Structure 1
């Protein structure tokens, strides 16, 4: 089987100046803090994927979506390679709910300059590039 990179979409959701992170489980990066997100599906835009993944994982709706940076993430131990597209948005509505407890231990809000560790590889790589400090920042 030929190994090819996959496309992931990670969503930076801001609410009152804080960012949403979840603790991963039962997948690569288990035990690390990550943004909500998942695989880009065939025919789906990154924006559509971001809205879908946030709703599926947290039960929340988002607004003011804009594209953010991307990272090139090579998970050497797992033999996986992802290009992660970051989407930046704001919380719109809904109660934060753990809707996929088999994939995530829980969701929490954090100040962008006080993100917990250990961090999922795409989040680590994003921090090295420069984390968007708000929905309006480039």
Structure 2
């Protein structure tokens, strides 16, 4: 199981990362980041931990957007992926795992970069359906 989050900053921008060559799947695509849930860890705690470990960011989870069947038949993978909204509280984002992530940035929702991962497309659709009240 993997979790992810649309993390919003003060200006209403959203944080994205480009997956690197050592990513488990969908290398080269942009994503609303996250990671695997550890045994005994809550979903929200996993989001907070992953953003700290991978980017040095302090985030607060603000809501659940939905759960995706993240099907990747070409890679032989099926992930159950809850996606959240979150708020950036502190820490200057930096790439801490350069083999898994090659770029990061803050973007307007109307100007997202390149191709998004399948689960990020699901997350974006859920966010647009529910509206910005959760960020």
Matched, 1:56 2:53: yes
Pairs aligned (count)? 131
Q: Give the TM-score normalised by the residue count of structure 1.
A: 0.86
- What's 1:4 paired with? none
Q: Is the 8 A contact 2:62 2:134 kept in 1?
A: no
Matched, 1:36 2:30: no
SS in structure 1 at match of 2:75? coil
Residues 82 and 98 (structure 1), Cα distance of their counterparts in 2 relative to 1, 3 Å cut:
same
Structure with higher helix content: 2
- State the alpha-carbon separation in 2 of the partners of residues 117 and 31 from structure 1: 10
- What's 2:3 paired with? 9
- State the alpha-carbon separation in 2 of the partners of residues 67 and 128 from structure 1: 13
SS in structure 2 at match of 1:41? coil
- State the alpha-carbon separation in 1 of the partners of residues 37 and 90 from structure 2: 23
- What's 1:3 paired with? none
Q: Give the TM-score normalised by the residue count of structure 2.
A: 0.88
Q: Is the 8 A contact 2:15 2:104 kept in 1?
A: yes
Q: Is the 8 A contact 1:11 1:89 kept in 2?
A: yes
Residues 128 and 62 (structure 1), Cα distance of their counterparts in 2 relative to 1, 3 Å cut:
closer
SS in structure 1 at match of 2:66? strand
Structure 1 residue 127, shift from structure 2 partner:
3.0
Q: Runs of 4+ in structure 1 displaced over 6 angstroms?
A: none
- Unaligned stretches of 5+ residues in structure 1: 1-6
